[in-house]
Amino acid sequence: MELKKAHNIYFIGIGGIGMSALARYFVANGKQVAGYDRTQTDITDALEDLGVSIHFEDNVDLIPVEYLNPETTLVVYTPAIPNEHTELTYFRNNNYDVLKRSAVLGEITKNTFCLAVAGTHGKTTTTSILGHLLKCCEVPVTAFLGGVSENYNSNLILHGTEVTVVEADEFDRSFLTLFPDFICITSMDADHLDIYGEVEALEDSFRAFTKQLKPNGKLFARQGLSIEGMTYGIEDHSDYSVQNIKIKSGTYVFDVKTPKHTLKDVEFSLPGRHNLSNALIALAMAVEYGCPHQQLVKALASYKGVKRRFTYQIKTKELVFIDDYAHHPEEIKAVHQAVREMYPEKQVLAIFQPHLFSRTQDFADEFAEALSLFDNIILLPIYPARELPIEGVTSDWLLEKIDNQNKKLIEKKDIVNDLQTRELQVVITIGAGDIGEEVQRIKEALQIAS
């Protein structure tokens, strides 16, 4: 079914961050939208405020009647949904067009100038920076984000339809449905080994994705990756490079060397060298697209970040509370680098919720090494997401591997009580599970205590 012929769009897993951006897009384009999700969240509440009908029980009887016509309804699902899902099975068995989210994204973007951001880390921040830069330069862009932009309080930037910005997701090889004009690869660290088995297979999928580039397209890759293209890096000899880095009042000030020019005194407020790298590649793609340099510099200075990406909840002289989505050892190390750079003299407590049994099993030693860097560690039980438990893979097992005496394992419900017994300077919550739902409660308790 062509998207323009679909009157009704039904989402299975509508509360996912990528799925909800698509739902918003279709609402904005005049489609009737409804869906299922397992859990009511702020995201589903926001969609319901837009008029989207959502239910939270896997039950065909709860599907609105107007979505029961296969000739007018397109069904979109996320690969996180199990194959035995009742509603998914119903649609598949009754002649509906049923597409993965990535395939729909491919259809939306195929007749646009598409800029795709790929990599095991940095996709969401880079995509949101790039979308912001292009919008500020009055490019007619739609950007689909994997997080909620602080600038727009949304995971969708709508400013025209000629250009699209998307996250190219390596999970389940989803990015192979895209045919972009620009591709950047931020990283290819081992992840999703439950899908790929070996890191070599993961890297091969990234190389396969680069073959999706349209004729005369441009490929960008972080310096050091085994990908041929324009390079970018920090204080090196890449095609695009950040130079002369300074920190002034918690903001990075630096120069950007491009193949033709040097941009002086560029400002960017997100902490961490990993975020500098994300800002650099977004800037490089916007420059290569043709955006005016000085307009880009002004836009980058106005970028506020993505919720749950080193998001300050409390920032006073006495107490700092940060929340971050990091769920891979390399991401945790990047968070640690950022917090140490900004608060070198302060004690840092990290509260970490592991995400997925398989990822915890695959990277247990690396998680332990990264977490050991913090002054104090609180570990929570593993968030299962789409998985069943794996025998022997528990947070107790991971805790034993952490080489730091200031560590403990507690239940999520006990976080606030535990924090109230401590002298706190910097607190950071880390993880991709439902730890984000505890942030407001933690914030309120810390504010009362201080």
Q: Say whether both 128 and 222 belong to one domain.
A: yes
Handedness of CA 161, 105, 21, 4 (dihedral sign): positive
Q: Say whether both 416 and 388 belong to one domain.
A: yes
For the cut 80, the answer to whether the pLDDT of residue 70 exceeds it is yes
Q: Say whether both 197 and 287 belong to one domain.
A: yes
Cα separation, 155 vs 261, in Å, equals 33
- The answer to whether the predicted template modeling score (pTM) of the entire model surpasses 0.95 is no
**pLDDT (tens digit, 9 = 90+) per residue, 366-423?**
999 999 999 999 999 999 987 899 999 999 999 999 999 999 999 999 999 999 999 9
Q: Is residue 317 part of a domain?
A: yes
Q: Say whether both 284 and 403 belong to one domain.
A: no
> SS3 of 253, please?
strand
Q: Say whether both 165 and 116 belong to one domain.
A: yes
Task: Write down the pLDDT at residue 190.
Answer: 58
Phi, psi of 317 (to 5 degrees): -65, -35
Backbone dihedral region for residue 431 (phi beyond 0: left; psi -120 to 50: alpha; all else: beta)? left
Here the CATH number for the domain that contains residue 131 is 3.40.1190.10
For the cut 60, the answer to whether the pLDDT of residue 196 exceeds it is no
Domain boundary among 101, 120, 150: 101
Q: Is residue 393 part of a domain?
A: yes
The model's confidence at residue 197, banded by pLDDT at 50, 70 and 90, is: low
The predicted model gives 256-269 an average pLDDT of 96
Task: Write down the pLDDT at residue 4.
Answer: 79
Quote helix, strand, coil % in the chain, to nearest 5. Answer: 35, 25, 35
Q: Say whether both 386 and 441 belong to one domain.
A: yes
Domain boundary among 253, 271, 301: 301
> SS3 of 197, please?
coil
Q: Say whether both 228 and 171 belong to one domain.
A: yes
Helix ranges (H only) for 137-251 are 193-196, 199-210
DSSP string, 110-121: TTSEEEEEE-SS
Structural domain of 397 = 311-449
The model's confidence at residue 191, banded by pLDDT at 50, 70 and 90, is: low
**pLDDT (tens digit, 9 = 90+) per residue, 129-178?**
999 999 999 999 999 999 999 999 999 999 999 999 999 987 777 888 89
Q: Say whether both 440 and 351 belong to one domain.
A: yes
For the cut 80, the answer to whether the pLDDT of residue 35 exceeds it is yes
Task: Write down the pLDDT at residue 120.
Answer: 86
Could you count the other beta carbons within 10 Å of the beta carbon of residue 236? 13
The model's confidence at residue 219, banded by pLDDT at 50, 70 and 90, is: very high
Q: Is residue 137 part of a domain?
A: yes
Q: What is the token pair recorded at 99?
A: 């597409």
Q: Is residue 306 part of a domain?
A: no
Q: Is residue 400 part of a domain?
A: yes
For the cut 70, the answer to whether the pLDDT of residue 124 exceeds it is yes
The predicted model gives 204-225 an average pLDDT of 93
